[in-house]
Amino acid sequence: MIYVVGIGPGDASYLTKAAEAIILSAELLIGAKRNLESIENFKGEKVELGSRLEDLLALLRANRNKNIAVLASGDPLIYGIGKYLSKHVSKDNLTIVPGISAVQYMFSRIPLDMNDLYITSSHGKKPNFDRVLGYPKVAMVTDDLVGPSQIADEILKRDLAKVILVGENLTYPDEKITRFKPEEITHQMKFNRNVVVILDEE
Ligand SMILES: C[S@@+](CC[C@H](N)C(=O)[O-])C[C@H]1O[C@@H](n2cnc3c(N)ncnc32)[C@H](O)[C@@H]1O
């Protein structure tokens, strides 16, 4: 069986008991370096996930008789490996184990309900800002190319009344959550790994 296991935003206290039990009973653990390092007490084989997803499929095929846990940060089905594996692995051989998403955690810290939230990502793409900024409540997982400053630019370009909340290094000791008006964010500002929440100004 292949388990795709959400391990939460980072700190081990946000790993669910179900996720922990499956990870510790797996024979093979696959994941990004940061995710593998976050798992303590695992005695079996660990393989670091590369950027080529075809290689992951080959590895899964080669170990088809083992119990395999593929680690995903946060929740596997929120901009994670769960989407790819649910398309490429037979449903009979796949179990997705949900985790607490960085997005969910961020909303708990603001705090704000997630009702009618539009969730999106800037990973590997330029978001359609005309559409994204049309929603009153948005959460975006970001990459290095499109983050808080680029989002602020897009808001200012359209002269929209929005506020931006940036959640960096969520659950870690250096977690930082900052509320900005778009004009307060400059390109000189450096942000660590972050979730951005964009809200209509009240
Ligand atoms: C590929 S997405 C994975 C999202 C993940 N599946 C989830 O549900 O949280 C990676 C992005 O999630 C966000 N992220 C994940 N963990 C985070 C954390 N601890 N603090 C801030 N942002 C985080 C960042 O935007 C990061 O670039």
Q: Given pLDDT bands bounded at 50, 70 and 90, which one contains residue 50?
A: confident
Q: Torsion angle, CA of 169/175/181/186, rounded to 10 degrees? A: -60
Q: Given pLDDT bands bounded at 50, 70 and 90, which one contains residue 105?
A: very high
CA of 65 to the centre of ligand 1 (A): 31
* pTM: predicted TM-score of the whole model, two decimal places: 0.96
CA distance 123 to 125: 6
pLDDT digits (tens, 9 = 90+) for 60-93: 999 999 999 999 999 999 999 999 999 999 999 9
pLDDT digits (tens, 9 = 90+) for 124-182: 889 999 999 999 999 999 999 999 999 999 999 999 999 999 999 999 999 999 999 99
Contact present, 6 and 95 (Cβ < 8 Å): no
Atom of ligand 1 nearest to the CA of 72: 6
Q: What mean pLDDT do residues 27-54 have? A: 93
Tell me, what amino acid is at 117? L
CA distance 60 to 167: 34
The yes-or-no verdict on residue 97 having pLDDT over 90 is: yes
Ligand 1, pocket residues at CB < 6 Å: 9-10, 72-75, 78-80, 101-103, 123, 141-143, 167-171, 193-195
CA quadruple 76, 79, 81, 87: dihedral sign: positive
The yes-or-no verdict on residue 51 having pLDDT over 90 is: no
Paired tokens of 46: 């660990």
- Residue 185's φ and ψ, nearest 5 degrees, are -95, 125
Structural domains in the chain?
2-100 (3.40.1010.10), 103-200 (3.30.950.10)
Is pLDDT larger for residue 41 or for residue 29?
Answer: 29
Q: Given pLDDT bands bounded at 50, 70 and 90, which one contains residue 198?
A: very high
Paired tokens of 106: 């961020």
CA of 195 to the centre of ligand 1 (A): 7
Which residue's CA is the closest to the ligand 1 atom numbered 13? Answer: 141
Q: What is the secondary structure of 28-62 as a DSSP string? A: EEEE-HHHHHT--S--SEEEE--S-HHHHHHHHHH
Which residue's CA is the closest to the ligand 1 atom numbered 11? Answer: 141
Which residue's CA is the closest to the ligand 1 atom numbered 16? Answer: 9
SS3 of residue 186 by DSSP: coil
Q: What mean pLDDT do residues 173-194 have? A: 97
Count Cα neighbours of 7 within 13 Å in the Cβ-side half-sphere.
Answer: 25
Test site for ligand 1: of 146, 191, 195, most ligand atoms within 8 A of the Cβ:
195
